[in-house]
């Protein structure tokens, strides 16, 4: 089998999007010929050697500035004015009541024109986009220009925050199929299309690297260390986590917190750590590779992720397959994996007292009981259970 397809992503490769790389590589192992196209990412530094290899295989729409976009648009307009007119009308349509004005959507049309030439040269029979925001609009416009049919994966929470503003229903109707990463995500997509469109929406859980399954299994170490893995941003709740850690310190509960990641809110996190005098209790790693994420998870008692909004975090699956319990919030698709008292602790989003108590409970749980929870977490990720599997 040598079916030619393409993937389109806003930014690729990206540390927080390693699951997309795993998905592409898994398709190639199955015999697909996958073309990588992204808007940006050619100048970004990456920590993982596999991401570096992916960068060298990716076409970048915005590389080279505005003139390649202008030339691609003029070429498409001249060679196929009817299809260009239809795509222009579609871009105008989805700009109405949108979160961005018409010039942005015309820019997406120009991006689609440049991408179209690469798709045609590759001979792509299908193109798949990740995230239902502007990346899906670009592949939808490329399809209107005469490009291949498209599908897209919706992760949340961004798509669920503004479904009408990004015309999510229009994108679903014009697609061949849509992927939701959880049952919760599927239910949210059902809200914005007619019953006749529901069959297009399929649940496909994100996969894990084989390395997460192949490491020697160990129970959680008897250390007072918790790790939070993720971008330092508003939706992950790290500021609330620092407040909870400060409360634990006041109670006299020892706890080291590792924040594995980086992001736009790092200055805010560091300022709050200093405000509470927690510099000796908090370590921020910055961006790290997948191998380093595994090391941090294995060296910790549990994963803590106090998210305010989510889709279904891959890091929760990574922790569970490594036999680490999870302290997290009962939002979006998370309760489909984490069972309170069985393989972790579920708390209400934004509830600092619940989060603090759950962290204290985890730190006080005897090692034998914690090991039972860790094994239950791994079993929850087993292929016979609920279809979660490694790719």
Name the nearest CA neighbour of 127 among 144, 108, 146, 150: 150
Which tens digit of pLDDT belongs to each residue from 69-122?
999 999 999 999 999 999 999 999 999 999 899 999 999 999 999 999 999 999
Return the percentage of the chain with pLDDT > 90, whole number: 86
Q: How confident is the model at residue 383 (pLDDT cuts 50, 70, 90)?
A: very low
- How far is the C-alpha of 115 from the C-alpha of 238, rounded, in Å? 38
How large is the average pLDDT for residues 314-342? Answer: 96
Q: Helix, strand, or coil here: 200?
A: helix
Distances in Å between the alpha carbon of 291 and those of 8, 55, 308, 324, 357? 26, 19, 27, 16, 31
pLDDT at 143 over 80: yes
384 vs 19, residue with greater confidence? 19
Report pTM: 0.87
Could you read off the pLDDT of 190-239 as tens digits, one per residue? 999 999 999 999 999 887 877 777 888 899 999 999 999 999 999 999 99
> Do residues 203 and 186 make contact, with C-beta atoms less than 8 angstroms apart?
yes
Residue 189 has pLDDT above 80, yes or no: yes
Average pLDDT, the chain: 93
User: What domains appear along the chain, each with residue ranges and CATH number?
Assistant: 4-203 (3.40.50.2000), 210-380 (3.40.50.2000)
| pLDDT number for residue 1 | 61
Alpha helices in the chain (DSSP H): 18-29, 49-55, 66-79, 81-95, 102-122, 134-144, 158-161, 168-174, 183-190, 210-214, 238-251, 266-275, 290-298, 314-321, 352-364, 367-380
* pLDDT > 60? residue 30: yes
């Amino acid at each position: 089998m040598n079916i030619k397809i393409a993937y389109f992503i806003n930014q690729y490769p990206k540390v927080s999007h390693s699951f997309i790389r795993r998905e592409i590589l898994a398709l190639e192992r199955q015999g697909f010929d996958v073309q990588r196209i992204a808007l940006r990412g050619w100048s970004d530094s990456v920590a993982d050697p596999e991401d570096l290899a992916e960068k060298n295989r990716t076409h970048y729409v915005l590389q080279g500035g505005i003139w390649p976009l202008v030339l691609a648009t003029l070429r498409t307009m001249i060679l196929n004015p009817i299809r260009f007119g239809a795509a222009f009308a579609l871009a105008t349509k989805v700009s109405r009541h949108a979160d961005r004005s018409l010039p942005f959507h015309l820019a997406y049309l120009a991006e689609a024109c440049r991408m179209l030439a690469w798709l045609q040269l590759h001979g792509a029979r299908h193109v798949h986009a990740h995230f239902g925001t502007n990346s899906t609009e670009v592949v939808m416009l490329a399809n209107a220009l005469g490009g291949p049919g498209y599908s897209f994966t919706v992760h949340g929470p961004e798509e669920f925050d503004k479904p009408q503003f990004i015309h999510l229903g229009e994108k679903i109707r014009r697609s061949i199929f849509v992927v939701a990463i959880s049952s919760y995500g599927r239910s949210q997509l059902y809200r914005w299309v007619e019953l006749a469109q529901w069959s297009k929406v399929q649940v496909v859980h994100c996969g894990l690297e084989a390395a997460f399954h192949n490491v020697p299994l160990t129970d959680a170490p008897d250390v007072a260390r918790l790790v939070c893995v993720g971008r330092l941003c508003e939706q992950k709740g790290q500021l609330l986590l620092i407040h909870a850690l400060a409360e634990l310190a006041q109670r006299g509960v020892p706890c080291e917190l590792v924040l594995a990641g980086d992001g736009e809110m790092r200055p805010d996190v560091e300022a709050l750590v200093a405000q509470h005098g927690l510099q000796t209790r908090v370590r921020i790693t910055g961006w790290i590779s997948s191998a380093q994420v595994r090391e941090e998870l294995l060296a910790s008692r549990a994963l803590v992720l106090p998210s305010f909004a989510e889709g279904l975090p891959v890091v929760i699956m990574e922790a569970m397959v490594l036999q680490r319990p999870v302290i997290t919030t009962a939002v979006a698709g998370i309760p489909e994996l984490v069972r309170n008292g069985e393989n972790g602790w579920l708390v209400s989003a934004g509830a600092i007292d619940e989060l603090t108590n759950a962290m204290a409970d985890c730190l006080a749980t005897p090692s034998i009981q914690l090991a039972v929870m860790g094994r239950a977490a791994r079993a929850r990720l087993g292929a016979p259970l609920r279809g979660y599997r490694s790719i």
